[in-house]
Amino acid sequence: MDVVYTICPFCGVGCGLNVRVHDRRVVSVLPAKNHPVNQGALCIKGWKSFQFVHSPQRLTDPLMKKNGEFVKVSWNEALDFVAKRLKEVKEKYGPDSIMFLSSAKCSNEENYLLQKLARAVIGTNNVDHCARLCHSSTVSGLISAFGSGAMTNSINEIYETDAIFVIGSNTTEQHPIIGSKIINAVSNGTKLVIADPRRIQLSNFADVHMRHLPGTDVALLNGMAHVIIKEELYDKDFIENRTEGFEEFKKLVEKYTPEYVSEITGVPPDLIIKGAKIYAEAEKAMIFYAMGITQHVAGTENVMAVANLALLTGNVGKPGTGVNPLRGQNNVQGACDMGGLPDYLPGYARVDDDEKRKRYEEVWGVKLPSKVGLTLTEAIDLVKAGEIKGMYIMAENPVLSDPDQCTVIEALERLEFLAVQDIFLTETAEHAHVVLPATTWLERSGTYTNTERRVQIFNKVLEPYANTMPDWKIICEISNRLGYPMNYNSPKEILDEINKVAPIYGGITWERLSKSYGLQWPCWDENHPGTPYLHAKKFTRGKGKFNALEWKAPPEWRDDKYPFIMTTGRVYYQWHTGTMTRKIPVLEREAPVPIVEMNPEDMKELKIRKNELVRITSRRGSIDAYVRINEYLPKRVVFVPFHYKESPVNKLTGDFLDPISKIPELKVTAVKIEPVR
Amino acid sequence: MYKIKKDNIPKFIDILLKEYEVIAPTKVHGDAVYAVLSSGDEFIDEHTLASPKEFVYPQIEKLFEYKFEKLKFTVHYELDTTKRVIMGIKPCDLRGIERLDVIFENDPYYLSRRKNTVMIAFACAKPCEHGFCKDLGGPSLDKGYDLQFTDIGEYYFIQVGSKRGSAIIDMTKDLIEKATDDDEKTRESVIEKTIKQLPDIKVKGIEKVLEWDMPVVEEYASKCISCGGCNFVCPSCFCYNVADIPVDGAGWRQRDWDSCLLPGFTRMASGENPREEAKSRMRQRLFHKFKYFYEVYLEYQCTGCGRCYQVCPVKIDLRDFIKRVWEGGK
């Protein structure tokens, strides 16, 4: 039989796929009908997902830069070189001079091994990944409010809730199967409130669409809280028994009247009142949010402000409620769970917690560093400062995904040692000293954790292409060469170890996963059924905490010289830096060129036609893009996706960081726009 | 008229496997899917999510390889001549493939596969969950099959529709028994019972009442998330995208399944798109199924299989569409 069940590699929804192989090539993909998440459906990316695997542009052999040019080398030469250079850099500059980037595209097992390589072998907590750029503020914000930084509830609870509030998420485009469930729920009578500067497909179904200006989320959310308190729609029992900090919060939001908030956000006062009432009057209500909340200088505060609303109305700890961050990458939840973060060991034990660290030291047989490591965004700056000398990047493409591209490239070029492990020669890999060719998801197995904390096995469908090697094997080979043996024969053996060290994964064994559609953490032991929703009787931190927060204006705002606010994001048909989707013809046809969405009134003022090429300029650089009309964008706000290497929007964004989570401000950049003629 | 004991189906397939690649529904991680079987006991008589269209018209296929050397182009292509049996194909799915036949009548890639594929249809002994084929041909075939099996209890009743079908009966004669008149009557009553249980959805004549601006089309368009799933599982959708994949002075041309619900399907090089709005794309799909195709071929491009509903993330339902069109399209 030639069909294998596996999991989609794109977004955090984690849909089940049935993949058919003929003559060592994938010939078809079908949605898994009985999978609890996708239930027989897929988005267009899922349907076309397999095609990049057979791209002739795949890396086939290890590459080393000799005299400025990449040459093919043997695995032995490449791996020996990586081990030698890591050792040399460590000896010369110390373990904290090396930065590791793990990957939200790789499996739990691979992320686990990479952070182990950093911590147990090199001896540094300098390990981070692209969650820094998407949901690091969720982790910090929700840990502060609830004690756990993950989606509190489950996807299918959309079908049992009474109201849904979506803020900063274009759900049908970026988490299409979740978006479709929201549409289905609304068709059956669930109320829907949207807050988003852009009109999105879900707006078709919304009872209220609040189009607030980018960067004004805290004001809007405080305004909704103000209405809920004033109208006495808050849950007094819940606040009394399960939360702390309410009085201070109540005092603070007093001044956030609908009129005051309207001035800041541009949303009419009556819409704020209506939106707040729908959310608060529902017996059960769910909040969904994504990058529109997190990718701000005030990212952590935005997340806390979202959590405040749920605490205020008692919408946490039961089915059909919760604060539900939609995780972007297929395994960004897992990469965080596995300790691909500079401050957490696998299972969220803090690196500076001497008591908890002991458990890991016993299993790993070494003393571990206790100093919190560097975030990805900080590390780039420290390369410039000369403190970071070596970097090891697994399956990430910071040249396109990180803010302020010129600075990133300059930093990578300055490194004494850069190794990149990927499936294509990415824009980042081009700057490496050595490139290690990895396999795609179809050529190995492992586990991914989706946005609702569901850990699932993805099965191997094909043998590795050409001379490529699975990521977990590459890490083992390097570790062995550094004198710390990693002798795992399969991903299963790695998961066995994860079961031992990370209590929330305690009962998530390979055997159980291979017979099921996954298990949701926390799952403490082999008999535990998994946890569909968190904080049922008590919050992870004890009591839920209200954070009283003032709205602060973003660091950069439109002015006479740069009269537009640019917000960045993604389009339905492309995936992140386009490494995979741009090699899939139907997807590339759908979104082949860099675009900028503009309001027709702005276009008229600037005398710009539809589809015309324009130059977008910020304080840091310029890019060109084709104009698309979005009549529902607020005036003087434009939207630009970040997929395109020919027009990298992160040349324009600034390196303003959230002081708590270090997430960059990717949603508010002041720009000007001129036609290119 | 023949019959075969159900218990003998695995052996029947094992004999076919000596000469053919056998494609049939099987279980993969809890799902019934069409797959290339390695042994007869993998077979299950269950309804699948997708039609087996991809075995005559693959999701993706290389059309030819090209090379540019010494100022000369050379092209190389191969046709798939694998001998296949599709075992268990439903009447709706086989009718869908007959719609493809008229579209691909000059397509060598399609024709080669089609010609080399034996169709062992399974008439429906009970209605499927979402089918509405009553007015679109019904649960049993009168023609088009090589063999047609019908579940009559302990046995499958077998009808022979072609010489290739008889040849298979010869190949497997040790497992085959002669059917009786009673068996035939049982078959007829099984099919009649299925027809009775199918929903009463009238389709014939719908092309005359479809109007350009029906609110139901707009309603569906506002929900559609452009996944293409309805096109991909449909037994009769045939559109494809063509792309060249260059590799150092050489490369190949491939085609893969396309969807009329994707905006880029009709976008032109300038960026202009005659079907810019979701509404016009949705209308194209529905009108093509129930009007345009009919006007050319006197048959609907829908066989009532209900697969598009099963795979649709937002549950757009052709049964609902048809009913509402008859009621004025509101």
Kindly report, residue by residue over A609-622, the tens digit of the pLDDT.
999 999 999 999 99
Q: Does residue A514 sit at the B interface (CB-CB below 8 Å)?
A: no
**A589 interface with B at CB cutoff 8 Å:** yes
Residue A402 has pLDDT above 90, yes or no: no
Q: Which residue of B42, B227, B282, B307 is the best one to mutate when testing the A interface, meaning the one whose CB has the most A CBs within 10 A?
A: B227
The beta-strand segments (E) located in A390-526 are 390-394, 417-422, 434-437, 446-449, 454-458, 519-520
Tell me the chain B residues in contact with residue A610 when contact means C-beta distances shorter than 8 Å.
271
Contact A237, A314 (CB under 8 A): yes
- B29: chain A residues, CB-CB within 8 Å: 5, 16, 18, 32
Kindly state whether B241 is in contact with chain A, defined as any CB-CB distance less than 8 angstroms. Answer: yes
Return the domain boundaries, chain B.
2-61+72-197, 206-239+260-326
- Which of B287, B303, B313 lies closest to B234, judged by CA? B303
> Does residue A409 contact residue A431 with C-beta atoms inside 8 Å?
yes
Write the pLDDT tens digit of every residue in A506-522. Answer: 999 999 999 999 999 99
What value does the mean pLDDT of chain B take? 96
Averaged pLDDT for residues B299-311: 97
Q: Which pTM does this prediction carry?
A: 0.96
A528 confidence band (pLDDT: 50, 70, 90): very high
Interface test with B, best of A23, A28, A192, A627 (most B CBs within 10 A): A28
Residues of B in contact with A572 (CB under 8 A): 226
CB distance A1–B229 less than 8 Å? no
Question: Which tokens sit at A48?
Answer: 């076309």
Q: How confident is the model at residue B329 (pLDDT cuts 50, 70, 90)?
A: confident
Tell me the residues of chain B between 121 and 140 that have a Cβ less than 8 Å away from chain A: none
- A32 and chain B in contact, CB less than 8 A: yes
The residue of chain A with its CA nearest to that of B244 is A585
Q: Which residues contact B327 (CB under 8 A, 6 or more apart)?
A: none
Distance between alpha carbon A74 and the CA centroid of its chain, in Å? Answer: 34
CA A6 → CA A30, A445, A461, A563, B33, distances in Å? Answer: 10, 9, 8, 48, 14
Taking only the tens place, the pLDDT of each residue in A302-361 is 999 999 999 999 999 999 999 999 998 999 999 999 999 999 999 999 999 999 999 999
Which residues are within 8 A (CB) of B71 and not within 5 positions of it... i.e. 6 or more apart? Answer: none
Would an 8 Å CB–CB cutoff place A590 in contact with chain B? yes
Q: Which residues of B touch A4 (CB under 8 A)?
A: 28
Q: Do A33 and B49 touch (CB under 8 A)?
A: yes
Kindly state whether B206 is in contact with chain A, defined as any CB-CB distance less than 8 angstroms: no
Q: What distance in Å separates residue B178's CA from the closest CA in chain A?
A: 32
- Judging contacts by C-beta atoms under 8 Å, the chain A residues touching residue B231 are none
Each as own residue / partner, the long-range contacts of residues B292-296 (CB below 8 Å, 24 or more positions apart, any chain) are B293/B99, B294/B207, B295/B207
B77-96: pLDDT as tens digits: 999 999 999 999 999 999 99
Interface touch B256/A586, C-beta < 8 Å = yes
Q: What are the φ and ψ backbone dihedral angles of B277, each rounded to 5 degrees?
A: -85, 145
Q: In this complex, is the C-beta atom of A172 within 8 Å of any C-beta atom belonging to chain B?
A: yes
Q: How far is CA A515 from the centre of its chain?
A: 28
Between A and B, how many CB-CB pairs are < 8 A?
A: 132
Which ipTM was obtained for this model? Answer: 0.96
Q: Is the pLDDT of residue A578 over 90?
A: no
Which of B33, B267, B311 faces A41 most closely, judged by CB atoms?
Answer: B311
- Residue B248, pLDDT above cutoff 90: no
Hey, are the CB atoms on A28 and B58 less than 8 Å from each other?
yes
Other CB atoms closer than 10 Å to residue A172's CB: what's the count? Answer: 27
Residues of B in contact with A40 (CB under 8 A): 49, 310-311
- Sequence-ordered alpha helix ranges (H) in B60-135: 91-103, 108-115
Residues in chain A within 8 Å Cβ distance of B254: 585
Residues paired with B177 in a beta bridge: B3
Q: What residue has token string 């969904």?
A: A288
**Closest CA in chain A for residue B62:** A27
Tokens 């009591």 sit at which residue? A543
pLDDT confidence of residue A633: 87
Task: Calculate mean pLDDT across residues A645-664.
Answer: 90
Beta-carbon separation of B245 and A177 below 8 A: no
8 Å CB contact of A3 and B28: yes
Per-residue tokens: A53:
């695997």
Residue whose C-alpha is closest to residue A475's, from A417, A392, A415: A392
Which residue of A lies nearest to B263 if distances are taken between CA atoms? A590
Is some CB atom of chain B closer than 8 A to the CB atom of A612? no
Please name the residue of chain B whose CA is at the shortest distance from the CA of residue A626: B271
**pLDDT tens by residue, B266-292:** 999 888 899 999 999 999 999 999 999
Q: Measured over all CA atoms, what is the biggest interatomic distance in chain B, rounded to whole angstroms? A: 72
- DSSP labels for A525-590? STT----SSS-SSSBTTBSEE---------SS---SSS-EEEEEE--TT--TTSTTGGGSHHHHHH
Over chain A, what is the mean pLDDT? 95
Q: CB A34 to CB B258 under 8 A?
A: no
Locate the chain B residue with the closest alpha carbon to A18: B28
Question: Which residue has tokens 């998801």?
Answer: A441
pLDDT of residue B249: 85
Chain A contacts of B237, Cβ < 8 Å? Answer: none
User: Residue B256: its chain A contacts at CB < 8 A?
Assistant: 48, 51, 585-586
Q: Point out the residue among A3, A44, A205 whose CB comes nearest to the CB of B228.
A: A44
For the CA atoms of A488, A493, A496, A498, what is the dihedral angle to 10 degrees?
50
| B175 and A CB contact within 8 Å | no
**What's the angle, vertex CA A374, arms to CA A368 and CA A379, rounded to 5?**
135
Q: In this complex, do A47 and B227 lie within 8 Å of one another by their Cβ atoms?
A: yes
Minimal CA–CA distance to A57: which of A645, A591, A584, A644?
A584
Please name which of A353, A280, A272, A305 lies closest in space to residue A138, comparing C-alpha atoms: A305
Tell me the longest C-alpha to C-alpha distance in chain A. 71
Question: Chain A partners of B258 at a C-beta cutoff of 8 Å?
Answer: 586
Question: Cβ–Cβ of B33/A3 closer than 8 Å?
Answer: yes
Q: Are the CB atoms for A651 and A624 separated by under 8 Å?
A: no
d(CA A86, CA A83): 5
pLDDT at A191: 98
Q: What is the pLDDT of residue A470?
A: 97
State how far the Cα of A346 lies from the Cα of A109, in Å rounded to an integer. 11
Residue A46 CA to residue A24 CA, distance in Å, equals: 20
- Tell me whether residues A44 and B49 touch, CB distance under 8 A: no
| Span A92-141, pLDDT tens digits | 999 999 999 999 999 999 999 999 999 999 999 999 999 998 899 999 99
Asked if B36 lies within 8 A of A51 by C-beta distance, the reply is no
Query: Which residue in chain B has the smallest CA separation from A26?
Result: B60
Q: What angle do CA A239, A243, A245 make, to 5 degrees?
A: 100
- Give A75's pLDDT tier (boundaries 50, 70, 90): very high
Q: What is the pLDDT of residue B85?
A: 98
Contact residues on chain B for A42, CB-CB shorter than 8 A: 227, 229, 311, 313
Cα distance from A609 to chain B (closest Cα, Å)? Answer: 12
Rounded to an integer, what distance in angstroms lies between the CA atom of residue A669 and that of residue A568?
9
Please give the residue of chain A at the shortest CA–CA distance from B246: A56
Is B247 in the A-facing interface, judged by CB distances under 8 Å?
yes
Residues recorded for chain B: 330
CB B8 within 8 A of CB B175: yes
Which residue, among A291, A134, A298, A138, has the nearest Cα to A657 in the 3D structure?
Answer: A298
In sequence order, the 6+-apart residues with CB closer than 8 A to the CB of A268 are: A262
Cα B132 off chain centre by: 15
Cα→Cα distances A182→A162, A447, A665, B277, B313, Å: 11, 27, 28, 22, 10
pLDDT given at position A517: 97
pLDDT above 90 for B102: yes
Give the minimum alpha-carbon distance from B258 to chain A in angstroms, rounded to a whole number.
Answer: 7
